[in-house]
Structure 1
């Protein structure tokens, strides 16, 4: 709790205590006035004077003091109350010739003055001094005056001590409440931190499982590619030997000539395509760390298109390769970026749609754009697009890691990736990469390749 707030509560609670005392304390004047009325019954001038004092003090204490409190504060209101009670005590004492029942009002009033603010003692002194002076000047007996003044003083001191003790107890209770609130906030904060740590641990565990599964799939793909590569080497060698031998034969039938001219060359083109795909798959599935090397982006785009062609068979693929030349980076990772973007584009586009990939080069950067005519994305999807494990696919159809990995690879190359998409209008991913990642000692050479910078 702030110090100002604590002080406000300490001020407010005695104020409420004061109001409660006023309600109870109001019974005293009623009883004393009834006793005075009974004692002086028949002395109508005294009774009228007492009734007037009672009415004025009732108005001041019930209405005027509260109004002054709202507009000028409690301190000013207590001065008004004290002066009104001083005047009432003097008038009541004079008209009753300072009867003991009139004197009782003096110590009784002081019980209600104590403990309210720092001026209370000054007001008490003014009140007692004023009443005593008026009493002595108007013929009151000195001994009685002194007796009631002393009763008022010590009654005030006892009441003030009681109020001070109550304030101390209240302050201690407030400190304890503050400590409990602080402990409660700390407990809530610790609970929130534990909950966040638990969620993060769950995410890390899930990510590790997905990574292990993807790693296993990569190893499986590399193994399959390796097993396919060996027999394809025999097939390639044998078909080449067959074609070469048949071309050396002078007398071939028309059927065999057709094999030499059309069938076997077409078969070799198919075998070459299979070998290329197998080589791309082996290179793509490798798990060993990849060093920065010089690469041709357009060549890597062709590789990505071959790997992703199974996911693009239902759409028309358009490519616009700008002859961007050579750059430095990790080409296998960049193939992974483009495969992910192409596969996502194919999955988001219905049959008969278009997926377009385009490359171009600026002075110090190269650009890749993958655009589709698919369903597009909402603003909510775009906000979470690159977060790990975020996916809009059905359960079991996606891990939510593809675009997160893409974002990480592009960032590690010192580039950036942007997305433009509207629902029903398709999507365009734009990747911007530097020719050389930051901190690498390479630069473009005059022949269009890359060379080490001279230090």
Structure 2
């Protein structure tokens, strides 16, 4: 079931709390009817009372709603309270403070459903004004005290009920927002799982394509080698053929060797078999990773300073995977005018590989989540946030670490440290 994209604000919650006013309006009309019945025949008093009731009804409904939309609920509530206090004072003065007028005192307090900081002050003003005028005009003290105390506790009860309702509503809305967020995260994870399945299928297909390319390339390599060998045995070659022997065919063999190396790298990189720790040449894996990532680095300037590291113990396929991800991430971070600087050297029993770019860099908040699974700053279709998370897991399993330095608009530096022999391989 889809979630609504609109959530009530605090003002909307106050609107929900004001819905019981429909019942309050009905009660006010009943009290007005009692006033009509009580003062029927006393036309001057009845006319004045009805005029006051009509004005207050208009203010409490139409005017209040208009002001709430125009100036906000707090201003509208203050204006409403002032007019109701004035109307009650005028009505009490006109009718000489009978019981029916005093009943309106606690009844008005029940309408105090505002939740802002000024609500209690509005209640104090309301009771103070009405009681002060009633005392000044000599109203019955017992009647005044009884209805004032009743009004005070009616307000406190209403305030508590409103606070409880607000708390419950906010909890419900917070829970709804959490469910909505969880639903979005599940959708994202589902989409990324589908993408991961596609990548797995592409990896299998790449391994199959590499295998199919490998067979005809073997024939091509063998035939060109034999051709060059036979031509070199001929004592006197025409100048046009001698150029093939000296330049064309050796350059062709060099290109064939590069194609074969890339095919072998692709086959090994796409293979999903679990590896055991084995001895391997770190420099060869570094060169292999550069060849695999070459397509993602072709748009920028790549500078390398690769010193000999030598033989290491580990899982070479996984090490190549880590290096490829670091190279590709650097390539994605720079534009056509950017640079990627790759350096490697051996420091004691550790291999140090540094990948630096002149790209957009990262904020501190991004760096904190950099190795989280499925976290990515790339646009949709450019990455799933699994590369660096997988790389971090591989490096950790080898007893190494990845250090990251970056600032926004100042590029990033990833430094990989790997022991020549992982502790778990000892």
> Where on the TM-score scale, by shorter chain, does this alignment land: which range?
0.5 to 0.7
The answer to whether structure 1 residue 344 and structure 2 residue 332 are counterparts is no
- Deviations 1:320-361 (Å, cap 9, x if unpaired)? 223222221111111111111111111211223221112222
C-alpha separation in 1, matches of 2:416 and 2:285: 14
Answer yes or no: is the 8 Å Cα contact 1:215–1:287 preserved in 2: no
2:231 to 246, 250, 258: 246
The answer to whether structure 1 residue 212 and structure 2 residue 197 are counterparts is yes
SS of residue in 2 equivalent to 1:439: helix
C-alpha separation in 1, matches of 2:360 and 2:188: 29
Moved more, 289-298 or 216-225: 289-298
The answer to whether structure 1 residue 326 and structure 2 residue 311 are counterparts is yes
C-alpha separation in 1, matches of 2:192 and 2:337: 35
C-alpha separation in 1, matches of 2:419 and 2:187: 36
1:432 to 398, 402, 417: 417
Q: What displacement does 1:202 show?
A: 5.3
The answer to whether structure 1 residue 255 and structure 2 residue 236 are counterparts is no
SS of residue in 2 equivalent to 1:260: helix
Aligned to 2:392: 407
Q: What displacement does 1:269 show?
A: 0.5
RMSD after superposition: 3.0
Aligned to 1:356: 341
Answer yes or no: is the 8 Å Cα contact 1:416–1:433 preserved in 2: yes
C-alpha separation in 2, matches of 1:439 and 1:192: 45
1:269 to 233, 254, 279: 254
After TM superposition, the score normalised by the length of structure 1 is 0.53
Answer yes or no: is the 8 Å Cα contact 1:388–1:401 preserved in 2: yes
Aligned to 1:374: 359
Moved more, 322-331 or 303-312: 322-331
SS of residue in 1 equivalent to 2:378: coil
C-alpha separation in 1, matches of 2:180 and 2:419: 41
C-alpha separation in 2, matches of 1:408 and 1:434: 15
SS of residue in 2 equivalent to 1:226: helix
Q: What pairs up with 1:15-414 in 2 under 5 angstroms?
A: 205-414=190-399
Q: What displacement does 1:372 show?
A: 0.9
C-alpha separation in 2, matches of 1:412 and 1:204: 25
C-alpha separation in 2, matches of 1:283 and 1:198: 38
Q: What displacement does 1:364 show?
A: 3.1
Moved more, 329-338 or 318-327: 318-327
Answer yes or no: is the 8 Å Cα contact 1:369–1:430 preserved in 2: yes
SS of residue in 2 equivalent to 1:252: coil
Q: What displacement does 1:203 show?
A: 6.2
SS of residue in 1 equivalent to 2:320: helix
Q: What displacement does 1:196 show?
A: 8.8
After TM superposition, the score normalised by the length of structure 2 is 0.56
Relative distance call for 1:393 and 1:194 in structure 2 (3 A) is: closer
SS of residue in 1 equivalent to 2:418: strand
C-alpha separation in 2, matches of 1:191 and 1:434: 49
